[in-house]
């Protein structure tokens, strides 16, 4: 439902790209917290195999610090709020507290659609630390 509400982002991006460049963008980049922003952007381009989809997760104080919100890069598959997706969890399946200075990026999981895009290889994911985001 939230992806549908956020889909205006991707629809407007496609419309403006066609108007300004006479074609689709080569790459679409979106931040990934829970995933609604990214899925709103990506949804319009999922079937365009010539458009790269890149999601950027919050690496907080660094992936090795344990203080991050990089669910797709460092998480494992689990169940949270009734959905199977990637989660930040310990060996017992208990949720690990995420960290990011960015509002909306502190969530221990992502939506199942983003998990599918990762698993299928349709989208690629990278990270930005708190310091990189501020820069």
Q: What is the pLDDT of residues 25-35, one digit of tens each?
A: 999 999 998 77
pLDDT (0 to 100) of residue 1: 78
Residue 48's pLDDT band, with cuts at 50, 70 and 90, is: very high
Does the pLDDT value for residue 103 go beyond 90? no
pLDDT (0 to 100) of residue 132: 96
Rounded to two decimals, what is the model's pTM? Answer: 0.93
pLDDT (0 to 100) of residue 34: 79
- Give the whole-angstrom CA distance, residue 119 versus residue 38: 16
Fold of the domain built from segment(s) 1-134: Rossmann fold (3.40.50)
pLDDT (0 to 100) of residue 3: 84
pLDDT (0 to 100) of residue 81: 86
Does the pLDDT value for residue 120 go beyond 90? yes
pLDDT (0 to 100) of residue 57: 95
How many H helices and E strands in the chain? Answer: 5, 5
């Amino acid at each position: 439902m939230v992806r549908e509400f956020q889909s205006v982002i991707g629809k407007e991006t496609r419309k403006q790209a066609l108007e300004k460049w006479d074609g689709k963008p080569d790459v679409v980049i979106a931040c990934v917290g829970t995933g609604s922003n990214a899925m709103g952007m990506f949804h319009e381009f999922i079937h365009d195999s010539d458009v790269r989809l890149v999601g950027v997760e919050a690496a907080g104080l660094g992936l090795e610090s344990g203080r991050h919100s990089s669910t797709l890069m460092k998480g494992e598959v689990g169940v949270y709020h009734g959905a199977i997706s990637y989660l930040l969890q310990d060996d017992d399946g208990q949720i690990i507290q995420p960290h990011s200075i960015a509002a909306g990026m502190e969530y221990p999981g992502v939506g199942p659609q983003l998990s599918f895009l990762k698993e299928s290889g349709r989208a690629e994911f990278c990270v930005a630390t708190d310091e990189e985001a501020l820069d």
